[in-house]
Amino acid sequence: MKRLALTSILLGGLLASCSEMPSAPTFTAFVADPVLIGAGDIANCASPGTALTAALLDVTDGTVFTAGDNAYMHGSYSDYMRCYEPHWGRHKGRTLPAPGNHEYETPGAQGYFQYFGDRAGPPGLGYYSVTLGRWLVLTLNSSADASASSAQMSWLKSTLQQFHGACVAAIWHYPVVSSGPNGGSPEMFEAWRVLYAAGADLVITGHEHLYERYAPLDGERQPAPRGMRQFVVGTGGTMLARIHSVRPGSQVQGTAWGLLKVTLRPESYEWEFLPAEPGAFRDQGQELCR
């Protein structure tokens, strides 16, 4: 994938004219660029944050994503029905979910797969892909085997090889680097390397109950001009955490409930962190695809 000049061309201009009146003006309709909006670490019945972020979804169009730990404390079907369904459940029909470690506190993440059904991809796997505009969006399972020889990495490599669009995003739970209390997690180092080698553009994670944006990073997770950017967005509604030690490449850190909105342009993307409460910090920017 090559970097191309940033463009504001909207996808899919469609011409329609009035055939009965040849002299009538021609009207152009535009199909808006796809939008991803969501967070991880979401539904906790003891926290007011879940209702606040769900209210943001109510007024924001786009495809909703979850970055794992969607229903506390154990990801059971009961947890989903009590804590997730009354709030984020309103948007289940437009949601691309990813599982987190709390989902696997229920054996086999059975509650997660039962709740989301076909929207969670093939039963029991926790990874799948969709195409949005010119983007490939991959949902991976950071609580399953993601080593170099795993079935998940074999699927990832094959999926990337078959994609001929412009840009690639991936969503999973454990961040590969983090300034939060848990620090970076090694489970997805191989996935990061595979995605970087394929020219992927951004990774969205959760797990840390805070917001963090990284500068582009290389295959070894070091700052690099033509690297891949990671967002940590564990701000979906559960109790928040504090930044511990700012890591190399971390550009923005914040603690507030809110959602990450990513507009998927044909050869670029724009991001905005939308806080759920007035006066909380915001973050926004744009980047060309690699």
Residue-wise pLDDT tens for the chain (290 aa)? Answer: 433 333 333 333 333 333 333 334 433 334 589 999 999 999 999 999 999 999 999 999 999 999 999 999 999 999 999 999 999 999 999 999 999 999 999 999 999 999 999 999 999 999 999 999 999 999 999 999 999 999 999 999 999 999 999 999 999 999 999 999 999 999 999 999 999 999 999 999 999 999 999 999 999 999 999 999 999 999 999 999 999 999 999 999 999 999 999 999 999 999 999 999 998 899 999 999 99
Q: What pLDDT is recorded for position 249?
A: 96
Q: What pLDDT is recorded for position 31?
A: 56
Q: What pLDDT is recorded for position 26?
A: 39
Q: What pLDDT is recorded for position 14?
A: 31
Which strands make up the sheet holding 268-275, listed edge to edge?
95-96, 63-66, 35-39, 258-264, 268-275, 283-288
Structure tokens at 153: 């990495």
Domains of the chain: 33-288 (3.60.21.10)
**Helix H or strand E segment including 161:** helix 151-162
Question: Which positions ≥6 away from 105 have C-beta within 8 Å?
Answer: 73, 74, 75, 76
Q: What pLDDT is recorded for position 279?
A: 87
CA-based max dimension of the chain: 68
Q: What pLDDT is recorded for position 20?
A: 37
Structure tokens at 23: 């002299």
